[in-house]
Structure 1
Amino acid sequence: MSRFRRRFWDPTGTRYGLPTYPWRLAPDGMATRRQLRAEGLRPGGQDVAAQVMWQTRRGVRVAYLYRVDAARPVRPMTEGKHRALAAAMRARRTCPVCGTDAGYVLPRHLGTCVPCGGRSAVAA
């Protein structure tokens, strides 16, 4: 086991307060939120059961793990939530200058669609 993996090996939780495992060495029956979601599950109010830690150029990264057997199914999307999500996405695609639906999420650095952003850059 490499020194980085050894550094993050703490299955009892004495060093980090939670059972801690190195990258790709988490025990079976544990999953991150993203892994639970891919299986159609959610944590369902349970506390974090363990964590995975790994070293990157930016520093130490952490991913929290939840027990799969205590996870609950994802709640189905209601019609009201579906409408609200569609309205929010439509607002992110609508240009405030020309008022058209650009067909893509507007770039935040422009705040407008690309053609309107190009016109304002030329005018300035």
Structure 2
Amino acid sequence: MGRRRDLYDPTGERHGIPTFPWRLAPDGYATYRQLRAAGLRPGGQGVAAQCLRPRRRRGPLVAYLYRIDRAKPIRPMTPARWAALAKANTARRMCPGCGRDAGYVIPASLGTCVPCAYPEGTTDGIAA
């Protein structure tokens, strides 16, 4: 795999699903990000095709494609969903060590706010 003709399989015989070279997908297909930009979502449909780009070290890069005609509109945010999102974001700011609102999202690497993680005022584990 590596030549453009090896990546062109519109019937899906070689790769299992229709496969096209990078940036050469036919009209009617879009990636997940392209669907989101158009205000759409896959809506339960499976991957319809893929685009492959050869990569030198770790195998090919793959972009999964969905059918635009089967895509559904994005569901709007309801007041309950906005409230749940605000509650989740507030929980990410609360320090489990001291119980205060840190004013920022607590880093997962620390697990607590910076003053609780470094009580002596150190920031790199070395005493000042």
Scaled by the length of structure 1, what TM-score is found?
0.82
Q: CA deviation at 1:99?
A: 2.0
Give the superposition deviation at 1:86.
Answer: 1.3
**Local SS of the residue matching 2:117:** helix
Summarize the Cα distance change of 1:58–1:111 in structure 2 as closer, same or farther, 3 Å threshold.
Answer: farther
Q: Which has the larger radius of gyration?
A: 2
- Cα offset, 1:42, TM superposition: 0.7
User: Which position in structure 2 is the counterpart of 1:100?
Assistant: 100
Amino acid at match of 1:75: R
With structure 2 as the length reference, what TM-score do the two structures score? 0.80
CA contact (8 A) 1:42 1:74 kept: yes
Instruction: Name whichever of 79-88 and 95-104 sits farther off.
Output: 95-104
SS at match of 2:60: strand
1:39-78 paired onto structure 2 within 5 Å? 39-56=38-55, 57-78=57-78
RMSD of equivalent CA atoms: 2.1
Question: Aligned letter for 1:53?
Answer: L
TM-aligned CA deviation for residue 13 of structure 1: 0.7
Which blocks of at least 5 consecutive residues in structure 1 are unaligned? none
* TM-aligned CA distance change 1:25 to 1:114, over 3 Å: farther
Q: CA deviation at 1:103?
A: 3.0
Distance 1:114-1:7 versus aligned 2 partners, 3 A rule: farther
Q: Are the structure 2 counterparts of residues 103 and 26 from structure 1 closer, same or farther at C-alpha, using a change threshold of 3 Å?
A: farther
Q: Which amino acid aligns with 1:24?
A: R
Question: Residues 115 and 122 (structure 1 numbering): CA distance in 2 closer, same or farther, change over 3 Å?
Answer: farther
Q: Higher helix proportion, which one?
A: 1
CA 1:17 to 1:115, structure 2 compared with 1: closer, same or farther past 3 Å?
Answer: same
Q: Distance in 2 between matches of 1:76 and 1:30?
A: 23
Distance 2:87 2:75 in 1: 20
**CA spacing shift, 1:116–1:78, aligned 2, 3 Å:** same
Stretches of structure 2 lacking an aligned partner (at least 5 in a row): none
Query: Secondary structure of 1:84's match?
Result: helix
- Distance change >3 Å, CA 59–CA 105, structure 1 → 2: farther
Q: Which letter maps to 1:29?
A: G
